[in-house]
Amino acid sequence: MIYRSKAPLRIGLAGGGTDVSPYCDLYGGAILNATLSLYAYATIEVLKEQKIILNAADQGKELTYEKADTLPIDGQLDLLKGVYNRIREDFGVNVPGFRLTTYVDAPPGSGLGTSSTLVVAIVGAFAEWLSLPMGEYDMAHYAYRIERQDLNLAGGRQDQYAATFGGVNFMEFFEGDKVLVNPLRIKREYLYELEHNLLLYYTSTSRESARIIEKQAKNVDDKNKSAIEAMHQLKVQAQLMKEALLKGKLDEIGEILDFGFMQKRKMAEGISTDWIEEIYTEAKRAGATGGKISGAGGGGFMIFYCPSTTKYKVIQALSRFGGMEKRYEFVKHGLSTWTV
């Protein structure tokens, strides 16, 4: 038997960073994000041999172990191992040997929530195989716990929920890991227009989001007024984006993104760089009305709102930076699992 899953990657449209502790524990966070037709995939194949084979196909890495209750967390495919270890500890299922194969449509560290989405996909494949009793909130929180608590990887909370629920969501974050996901019913023509005008641009770089997030968290711990006020303003941005999308005020989206970009730079050192600033300035000169860095910042993907047909001029203007446009569509579905 073969057990498969896929979970969509996401772009954060507003409020990014307010889902990170300790800010959201102290003040509450709010984010608006949308899932894309780019995915993390996981496949589990049951083996006759008593071995566990972990294969990250997109990275060209494969590890083989004798079947054991716990796999070593040593920096090698730890996301895959972390899911297995947690499920074995919590559910105590005596599984046979298996091969776990994963693949992600975007590079690690690119700002589309790749790591967290991959964890959701892997949890989904195990849940499909073992018939684990998990609802959407359970699945997202379980993935969050594995990544943030078991593996001690710094990051926020939005990615696991976006990957599990799918669609366009306004998410609220509270103390004690409490999360509320509010799906937005956006008119089809508004979503099509947003999809047409929103350029997803890969800078052909990656970054270590954990370092930036750690600096952001330290600024909150140290009561850095400028950084905290910037996060307050990003929550305001999330509300503005929500209203613009629901009411079809799409011409305001570029300005709302631009407002958020100005605020996000103040949250922590390293979010923006001279090179990113140059790309951003060039995009606006070519016709974009605003944009942002996806994820924690420092590199990876950027998005730009390009009204009318200015997207084509922006793509041409950015060609000298060595990056590339990434085609996508918005998708409504979240985690999907099935058995072959």
Question: Among all residues, which ones are annotated catalytic?
Answer: 159
Asked if residue 293 lies in contact with residue 271, where contact means CB atoms within 8 angstroms, the answer is yes
Strand spans (E) along 108-237: 168-173, 179-183, 198-202
Q: Scan for tokens 């709102």, then name that residue.
A: 305
- E strand or H helix at 215, and its extent? helix 209-221
Q: Which of 157, 158, 268 is nearest to 211 (CA)?
A: 268
Contacts of residues 273-277 at CB distance under 8 Å and 24 or more positions apart, as own/partner, are: 273/298, 273/299, 275/321, 276/203, 276/302
Ramachandran angles phi, psi of 85, nearest 5°: -60, -45
Q: 325 - beta bridge partners? A: 201
Asked if residue 115 lies in contact with residue 104, where contact means CB atoms within 8 angstroms, the answer is no
Q: DSSP per residue over 99-134, as a string?
A: EEEEEESS-TTSSS-HHHHHHHHHHHHHHHHHT---
Q: DSSP per residue over 13-78, as a string?
A: EE-TTTTSTTHHHHH-EEEEEEEEEEEEEEEEEE-SSSEEEEEETTTTEEEEEE--S----SSSSH
Say whether 233 sits in a helix, a strand or coil. Answer: helix
Asked if residue 56 lies in contact with residue 102, where contact means CB atoms within 8 angstroms, the answer is yes
Tell me the CA distances in angstroms from 163 to 15, 100, 118, 166, 294, one per residue in order: 17, 19, 9, 6, 16
Asked if residue 318 lies in contact with residue 201, where contact means CB atoms within 8 angstroms, the answer is yes
Q: In this structure, are strands 98-104 and 51-56 parallel, antiparallel, or unpaired?
A: parallel
Asked if residue 151 lies in contact with residue 205, where contact means CB atoms within 8 angstroms, the answer is no
